[in-house]
Amino acid sequence: MENTELEQMVDTTDQWIRERTGIERRHIAAESQTTCDLAEAASRHAIDMAGISADQIDLVIVATTTADCVFPSVACLLQNRLGITNASPAFDVQAVCAGFVYALGVADSFVKAGNAKTVLVVGAETFSRILNWEDRNTCVLFGDGAGAVVLTASDEPGIHSTHLHADGRYEELLHVPEGVSRGYAEMQQQAYVQMRGSEVFRMAVSKLSEVADETLQANGIDKSELDWLVPHQANLRIIKGTARKLAMTMENVVVTVQDHGNTSAASIPLALDVAVRDGRIKAGEKLLLEGFGGGFTWGSALITF
């Protein structure tokens, strides 16, 4: 969906969206497609690229806020679709736009504790289903998508560290205020994203820069040693602000927000996929991944790819 299509739906312009967010287009799932469909496609690509068979996977984690159904989890649906019948654990992680780094952190803990060897970590969302398409403050920002990675236990350094944070005091700045336990009737009325954009913007820039510093310090490395920043793709101005604080030029920052919009938990693995497949990110390079989302939740991962 191009920005120009949104001009027909709400009082906005292509120019406003580009200038304020960097977004040019986003993808919207077909009516018949669910989050698990997107997760399955991304997972199959990741499994092919990793050169493993699905039955080697002994943990499936899906980061999502837009599950197909209340339960089972998307991870259980996905495990079945992929034909994994080894009874290994599968569960969803819900940390909105920080979901992928949260899922990576959980997966890393399982591997480091010796409880998993081959983990499928997916970020998948159909945010279009929780948007008010009459609210220009939000509907121009988000898109649907999925990305996936396979982690395998190894003696080589892969994930150096993950750093996860939350501060629930800010729940009302970015939320879908209704849900199952608050009643289905209300859910019909308000089950869409509501956001106080400029406040979210300020917090995102400040927390992302804090967590970047925390990650560098924890690993005793200087920002000049980072090869790539792979940030959550919410807004080009937030991405540029974070890059500036890390003294990184935009050549070393993976930016896909122009083509995907904000795909929440899917945005980091989608960006990673683009830059790995086009040959920019190479084996052995140091990557800083970081995300920020509703909750607020935020976090980072330092990786040798």
Q: Rule CB under 6 A: which residues touch ligand COA?
A: 12, 16, 20-21, 97, 136-137, 140, 195, 197-198, 200-201, 204, 234-235, 262, 292-293
Distance CA 137, CA 19 (A): 14
**Local structure of residue 83 (DSSP, 8 states):** T
Question: Cα dist. 128→32, 33, 115, 263 in Å?
Answer: 13, 11, 36, 9
Kindly list the distances between the CA atom of residue 169 and the CA atoms of 1, 178, 248, in Å, as whole numbers in the listed order.
Answer: 34, 17, 32
Closest to ligand COA by CB, 90 vs 289, is 289
Alpha carbons 205 and 201: distance in angstroms, whole number: 6
Give residues with Cβ within 8 angstroms of 94, minimum separation 6. Answer: 63, 64, 65
Task: Name the residue nearer to ligand COA (CB basis): 84 or 195.
Answer: 195
What CA–CA distance (Å, rounded) separates 287 from 121? 17
List Cα–Cα distances, 148 to 10, 42, 247, 270, in angstroms. 33, 5, 29, 8
**In this chain, which residue has its C-beta nearest to ligand COA?**
197
Shortest Cβ 303–ligand COA spacing (Å): 21
Output b/e per residue, 157-171; b: 16+ Cβ within 10 A.
eebbebbbbeeeebe
Catalytic-labelled residue, pool 97, 139, 165, 260: 97
| Residue whose pair of structure tokens reads 């509501």 in the numeric block | 194
Query: Is 97 labeled as catalytic in the residue annotation?
Result: yes
Output the smallest distance, CB 204 to ligand COA, in A: 6
232 counts as catalytic: yes
Catalytic residue among 139, 163, 165, 232: 232
Nearer to ligand COA, 107 or 204 (CB): 204
Instruction: Work out how close the CB of 183 gets to ligand COA at its nearest, in angstroms, rounded to a whole number.
Output: 26
Q: Whose Cβ is closer to ligand COA: residue 111's or residue 176's? A: 176
Smallest separation (angstroms) from ligand COA to the CB of 18: 11
Whose Cβ is closer to ligand COA: residue 43's or residue 138's? Answer: 138
**140 to each of 38, 107, 133, 135, 136, how far by Cα in Å?**
21, 32, 8, 8, 6
163 is known as an active-site residue: no
**Shortest distance (Å) from residue 12 CB to ligand COA:** 3
Catalytic residues: 97, 232, 262
